[in-house]
Amino acid sequence: MDTQAIWNFLGTQGVDFGLKVLGAIAVWIVGRWLIGWMRRGAHAALQRGRRIDETLARYLSSALAVALNVLLILAVLDVFGVKTTSFAALLAGAGLAIGTAWGGLLTHFAAGIFLQVLRPYKVGDHVVIGGVNGRVTELGLFGTTLVTGDSVTALVGNNKVLSDTIQNFSSLPARRVDTTAKIANGVDVHDAISKLRDAVAKIPNVAKDPKPDIEILQFTPEGPLLAVRPYTHTDHYWQVYFDTHRAVVDTFGQCGYPVPETPTVQRAAPVTP
């Protein structure tokens, strides 16, 4: 091994290469800072627009960040002397292989575009997509981020969302709350329904239109089973649900209604031979 040749190479080329590395690091740090600043600025500008909601604003800012990161990588390669035309030719030559390997990812990207056009939901809506029930926090380039009721973050691929049933609980102003109440045999059913309807209507956040539905659902051996169905916005669903149960207990207790009891079944005495 020619040690002198190595030292000559390091003396002539090493400094130049080191300067390129430092330049690339500087370009990367400054570029990442500028991309973050531009993304936040673009997102804020889009939010100020009256015709662009939060969902589309986040989607466009994410797309801008991806495009700027690609340009940053090209700039870093240019520092090392890699021409962007050669890099573009390399990408074109490897396009088929990348497309095959990332076929699933590209379908999620295409589905995300369709979701932006069709707009079945937006950020803040409570939905069931891909079997996940939660509130939408972001509709990204490749997936939709949800936060479930038990505070778990879930990411559902956009293609899975688009190919499955989408349930949006926030698209309509009121959602029905389903619960039941049983009264004992001998209690005046019409009086119980009237008093319970008045009590449920006074619960905070219960919709005035449509009015709460309180009707006889079925008859049981213990007594009539009432369907108690107030309406509210999905944001107040669980508050109205629990308050409705409390209203049933309080109303029936104030009226002195007896607790429904299962009738005693009398067994026939065994026949002795």
CATH number at residue 218: 3.30.70.100
pLDDT score, position 175: 94
Residue with tokens 């006889």: 216
Does residue 72 lie in a domain region? yes
Write out the H or E segment, with its range, that includes residue 119.
none
pLDDT score, position 116: 82
Q: Are residues 77 and 141 in the same domain?
A: no
Residue with tokens 């207790």: 253
pLDDT score, position 4: 59
Q: Are residues 182 and 160 in the same domain?
A: no
Q: Are residues 21 and 52 in the same domain?
A: yes
**What is the mean pLDDT of the segment spanning 231-259?**
94
pLDDT score, position 107: 83
pLDDT grade for 203, boundaries at 50, 70 and 90: very high
pLDDT in tens, 91-141: 555 554 555 545 566 788 788 888 888 889 998 999 999 999 999 998 888
pLDDT grade for 15, boundaries at 50, 70 and 90: low
Task: Enumerate residues 6+ apart whose C-beta is below 8 A from 93.
Answer: none
Return the closest-CA partner of residue 108 out of 141, 132, 65: 141
**Residue where one domain finishes, among candidates 93, 112, 131:** 93
The Cα 121–Cα 234 span in angstroms is 14
Return the closest-CA partner of residue 126 out of 167, 155, 96, 164: 167
Does residue 244 lie in a domain region? yes
| Count of the separate structural domains present in the chain | 3
Q: Are residues 179 and 221 in the same domain?
A: yes
Q: Are residues 88 and 20 in the same domain?
A: yes
Q: Are residues 161 and 189 in the same domain?
A: no
- Asked if 205 and 233 count as a contact pair (C-beta separation under 8 A), the reply is yes
Q: Are residues 163 and 218 in the same domain?
A: no
Q: Note down the domain range covering 158.
A: 121-168
pLDDT(49) > 70: no
The Cα 164–Cα 162 span in angstroms is 6
CA max distance for the chain: 120
pLDDT in tens, 134-171: 999 988 888 899 999 899 999 999 989 988 999 999 99
pLDDT grade for 84, boundaries at 50, 70 and 90: low
Q: Are residues 198 and 142 in the same domain?
A: no
pLDDT(201) > 90: yes
pLDDT grade for 80, boundaries at 50, 70 and 90: low
CATH number at residue 144: 2.30.30.60
Q: Pairing state of beta strands 126-129 and 132-139?
A: antiparallel
